[in-house]
Amino acid sequence: MKLKVCGMKYNDNIISVAQLQPDYMGFIFYEKSPRNFVGNIPEIPKSIKKVGVFVNASLEEVIDKVNTHGLQAVQLHGEETPEFCIKLRYSLAPKRRDIAGSHPDIIKVFSIKDEFDFEVLRPYETVCDYFLFDTKGKNPGGNGYTFNWNVLENYPSTKPYFLSGGIGLESKDKLDIFFKSNASQYCEVLDINSRFEIEPALKDIEKLKEFKKGLF
């Protein structure tokens, strides 16, 4: 199981979290969020994928942030259409065959509470690399509570997904049960954020260490 720490903002804190070697670190580019990132991302190990999180941003803005910050993944947290994902994938693809590397991963977010119509995933199957399931709440993310993970027992796809939404130290027993269930078969990444904060965007390093030690 891989780990993503999202909602990074402060340079010293970013460097401290990077020392814990999560697989992904998320940077939110959404002005209405208290975790909105501005400035330059400090240098972190190349083994950590930098994820840009966007909410209904324009294609031009996403591409600009990818190029400016060297993002390896784009997380779409709004109402982005399959057509938008196709345009984004094409725009981010290497323009020449002799250029090494591939496009940044595209992660499409879907919010769940107690039930979910998995048919909405179908148009996105071929246009994104991962799904991300988060808790439906008043904010696009960072609401601080979990959804009913049993809903994922009915997951009809083989596409790997991120599990997000209110995961914290107190989630260990629940996660242990989840990992033993069929629902976790295609879960590849745990995405953590608000439950590990001293204040919005400022991560508690000791809590992160404890969580990582207990589960990874």
Q: At what angle do helices 205-215 and 11-18 cross, to 10 degrees?
A: 20
* Domain CATH code at residue 163: 3.20.20.70
Alpha-helical (H) ranges within the chain are 11-18, 59-69, 82-92, 172-179, 205-215
Q: Are 78 and 111 in contact (CB under 8 A)?
A: no
Domain of 71, in residue numbers: 2-215
Tell me the three state secondary structure of residue 87. Answer: helix
pLDDT in tens, 101-135: 578 999 999 999 889 999 999 999 999 999 999 99
Given a cut of 50, is residue 163 above it in pLDDT? Answer: yes
Domain count within the chain: 1
| Distance, CA of 120 to CA of 171 (rounded, Å) | 28
Residue 199 is classified by DSSP as: E
State the pLDDT at residue 136.
Answer: 79
Element (H, E) at 76: strand 73-76
What string of DSSP letters covers 41-60?
A: PPP--TTSEEEEEESS--HH
Q: What value does the mean pLDDT take over residues 8-20? A: 98
Tens of pLDDT, residue by residue over 15-65, are 999 999 999 999 999 999 999 999 999 999 999 999 999 999 999 999 999
Statement: residue 78 has pLDDT above 80: yes
Integer Cα distance of 85 and 127 in angstroms = 6
